[in-house]
């Protein structure tokens, strides 16, 4: 396994781990129902994008690396700020959540673009 794939595999594994931890915390340790729902939403988004980052470890293409970074940035800005609001009560943190959402959208568009561009090269 190449170093870049290995590093992104570690990132994906750690992100998936954190999603499960935060989901459990939200379900069992957060008393406020609204805060627990926020943690649940963020953990689902983090888990989905951890799986996508892992899948992208084996992908090749011009936009794959940028898509991985977009998902990592999205995780930090969207999920991270929601966790901060729900767990620490820091309401101002969620001002960055829309940037994380845009980063997630960009990552998905890059995957679509990569597959549009490379459609012909993957056919046998």
pLDDT tens, residue by residue, 17-40:
999 999 999 999 999 999 999 999
Give pLDDT tens digits for 62-77: 999 999 999 999 999 9
Residue 61: pLDDT band (50, 70, 90) is very high
pLDDT of res. 124: 38
Strand, coil or helix: 31: coil
Note the residue count of the chain: 124
Q: Centre a 10 Å sphere on the Cβ of residue 20 and count the other Cβ atoms it contains.
A: 14
Distance CA 120, CA 124 (A): 9
C-beta separation of 100 from 76 below 8 A: yes
- Tell me how many helices (H) and strands (E) the chain has: 5, 0
* Rounded percentage of the chain residues whose pLDDT exceeds 90: 88
Instruction: Dig out the tokens for 59 from the structure.
Output: 């992908």
Residue 95 DSSP class? G
The structure tokens 């069992």 sit at 28
Name the pTM for this structure. Answer: 0.91
């Amino acid at each position: 396994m190449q170093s870049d794939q290995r590093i992104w595999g570690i990132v994906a594994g750690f992100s998936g781990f954190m999603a499960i931890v935060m989901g459990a915390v939200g379900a069992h340790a957060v008393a406020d129902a609204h805060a627990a729902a926020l943690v649940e939403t963020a953990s689902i988004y983090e888990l989905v994008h951890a799986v996508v980052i892992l899948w992208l470890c084996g992908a090749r293409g011009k936009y794959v690396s940028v898509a991985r970074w977009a998902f990592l940035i999205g995780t930090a800005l969207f999920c991270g700020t929601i966790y901060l609001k729900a767990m620490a009560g820091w309401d101002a943190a969620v001002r960055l959540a829309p940037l994380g959402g845009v980063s997630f959208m960009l990552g998905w568009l890059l995957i679509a673009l990569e597959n549009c561009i490379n459609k012909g090269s993957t056919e046998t």
